[in-house]
């Protein structure tokens, strides 16, 4: 039929290869339902690789009384700590509290107890640092009017690799297929069957398939995708918010663990050491540009640096300490009762614009597994199959060739393993998401970046097309 060797018909077609689409794909696969997953770009190349790299309950959602969401997210976080310990690990987060903060230390203590309670006390118990203890853990912290800090537990995650490994696990079912750089172009419906036109984004070739069920897990791109579909009467549902992050050098700040900063503007900034680098984020700004492949604006970079200098005045941190930046869009659902993005609910919704079409919007990264169940349960019932919510409690069966949070040199064998088994189609797919190298400044080998890859270019070209320019142009 086509150069990609996909079938002409699938019971289910999923559009969107981020974490939610991946979760639905895995759940359907484990239930034995043949499914095709497609993404216009590389899997997890947009929002799902641009999170704050946490699995967390969302401690700030307690103020919105989103107790159900926090309960669900905390239990999901603790589940993944058990079944994917190579992709995530627990960390103790500290929230410094100052004399003039709107949340005094006693209020923080109450909130942290509630957070532990909603985890069914699965979290490592919260604690309180006094002023001296806080300074001991964070020597460069602003000391004026410092009262102490609240300490609680959440998890750090490699967001891109978790998404990819969820997809790899689904592909253990030989009747399921995942294709990146394959975009959804149009759909018509004839006698309860969807006729879908797809486009190969690399070759320009158009493909035609049919499916019984059509699932859109397109995150912040949902409104743009569905408003072009004639058979759906779609109205905008999202309030997208752009979040930017920085990776900075490990010696830029003296930290004994992650810190949660609470600026006067009501935002939250996480500062999280990870190996030989520190993650700083995030911002919340309007989206006034293209949705794909966003970059952090100078305004967002300045905002994050200014707050770091405010809270760590002894650090002398400068823009030269930035290793790389990244940016994504939160797919927030419109809520007429909320006027600010920071207070917009993060609960998800499933909408059916047609009887056999499911559109999932909203939600948060941590809850992707339970979000997927809302759709998979309906699909199973439609095929008269029993739905088992426990299937996705099993560990992932294929790990990434390069494990998360490793700073070890990258070997040729590791590169070849990624090429053979992890579905990259471009040089960036290989380096950024399979090897986990965000920019040249993150390169762990002694041998220079370009020299290493040029020396194995003939091997690379057995799997993906790579030119010298692709190597030289990588960030």
| pLDDT value, residue 275 | 85
Give, for 236, the enclosing helix (H) or strand (E).
Answer: none
User: pLDDT tens digits for 229-243?
Assistant: 989 989 999 988 899
Q: Chain-wide mean pLDDT for the chain?
A: 93
293, HSE (Cβ side, Cα atoms, 13 Å): 4
Distances (CA, A) of 269 to 3, 250, 360: 46, 17, 28
Pairwise CA distance, residues 117 & 365, whole Å: 22
The answer to whether residues 407 and 276 touch, using CB atoms and an 8 Å cutoff, is yes
Distances (CA, A) of 116 to 16, 60, 96, 274, 368: 34, 14, 19, 24, 21
The larger pLDDT score, comparing residue 246 to residue 100, is at 246
* Phi, psi for 430 (deg, rounded to 5): -65, -55
Q: Tell how many helices (H) and how many strands (E) occur in the chain.
A: 13, 18
| pLDDT value, residue 340 | 45
| pLDDT value, residue 336 | 52
User: pLDDT tens digits for 246-284?
Assistant: 999 999 999 999 999 999 888 899 999 998 899 999 898
Largest Cα span, the chain: 71
CATH architecture of 241-330: 2-Layer Sandwich (3.30)
Q: Where are the domains of the chain?
A: 9-48+160-238+344-393, 63-131+145-157, 241-330, 412-473
| pLDDT value, residue 74 | 97
First to last CA, the chain: 37
| pLDDT value, residue 338 | 44
User: pLDDT tens digits for 332-367?
Assistant: 888 654 444 444 456 889 999 999 999 999 989 999
Superfamily of domain 9-48+160-238+344-393: FAD/NAD(P)-binding domain (3.50.50.60)
> DSSP string of 79-98?
HHHHH-TTTEEEEEEEEEEE
């Amino acid at each position: 039929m086509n150069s990609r060797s996909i079938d002409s018909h699938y019971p289910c077609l999923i559009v969107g290869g981020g974490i939610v689409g991946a979760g639905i794909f895995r759940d359907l696969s484990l239930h034995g339902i043949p499914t095709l997953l497609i993404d216009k770009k590389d899997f997890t190349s947009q929002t799902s690789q641009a999170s704050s790299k946490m699995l967390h309950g969302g401690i700030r959602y307690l103020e919105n009384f989103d107790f159900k969401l926090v309960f669900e997210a905390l239990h999901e976080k603790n589940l993944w700590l058990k079944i994917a310990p190579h992709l995530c690990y627990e960390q103790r987060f500290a929230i410094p509290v100052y004399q003039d903060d709107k949340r005094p230390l006693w209020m923080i203590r109450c909130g942290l107890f509630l957070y532990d309670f909603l985890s069914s006390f699965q979290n490592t118990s919260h604690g309180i640092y006094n002023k001296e203890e806080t300074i001991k853990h964070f020597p460069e912290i602003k000391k004026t009017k410092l009262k102490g800090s609240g300490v609680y537990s959440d998890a750090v995650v490699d967001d891109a690799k978790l998404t990819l490994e969820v997809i790899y696990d689904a592909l253990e079912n030989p009747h399921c297929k995942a294709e990146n750089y394959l975009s959804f172009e149009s759909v018509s419906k004839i006698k309860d069957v969807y006729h879908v036109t797809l486009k190969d984004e690399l070759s320009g070739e158009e493909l035609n398939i049919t499916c019984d069920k059509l699932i859109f897990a397109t995150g912040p791109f949902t409104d743009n995708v569905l408003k072009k579909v004639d058979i759906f009467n779609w109205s905008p549902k999202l309030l997208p918010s752009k979040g930017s992050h920085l990776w900075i050098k490990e010696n830029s700040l003296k930290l004994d663990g992650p810190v949660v900063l609470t600026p006067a503007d009501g935002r939250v900034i996480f500062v999280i050491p990870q190996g030989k680098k520190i993650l700083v984020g995030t911002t919340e700004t309007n989206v006034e540009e293209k949705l794909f492949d966003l970059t952090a604006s100078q305004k967002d970079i300045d905002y994050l640096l200014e707050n770091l200098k405010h809270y760590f005045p002894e650090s002398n941190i400068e823009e030269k300490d930035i290793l790389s930046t990244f940016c994504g869009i939160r797919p927030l659902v419109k809520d007429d009762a909320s006027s600010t993005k920071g207070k917009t609910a993060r609960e998800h919704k499933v909408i059916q614009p047609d009887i056999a079409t499911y559109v999932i919007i909203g939600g948060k990264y941590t809850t992707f597994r339970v979000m997927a169940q809302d759709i998979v349960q309906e699909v199973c019932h439609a095929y008269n199959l029993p739905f088992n919510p426990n299937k996705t409690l099993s560990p992932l069966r294929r790990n990434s060739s390069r494990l998360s949070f490793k700073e070890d040199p990258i070997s040729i064998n590791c590169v070849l393993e990624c090429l053979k088994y992890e579905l990259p189609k471009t040089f960036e797919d290989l380096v950024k998401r399979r090897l986990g190298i965000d920019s040249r400044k993150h390169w762990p080998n002694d041998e220079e970046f370009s020299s290493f890859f040029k020396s194995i270019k003939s091997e690379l070209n057995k799997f993906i097309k790579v030119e010298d320019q692709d190597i030289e142009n990588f960030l």
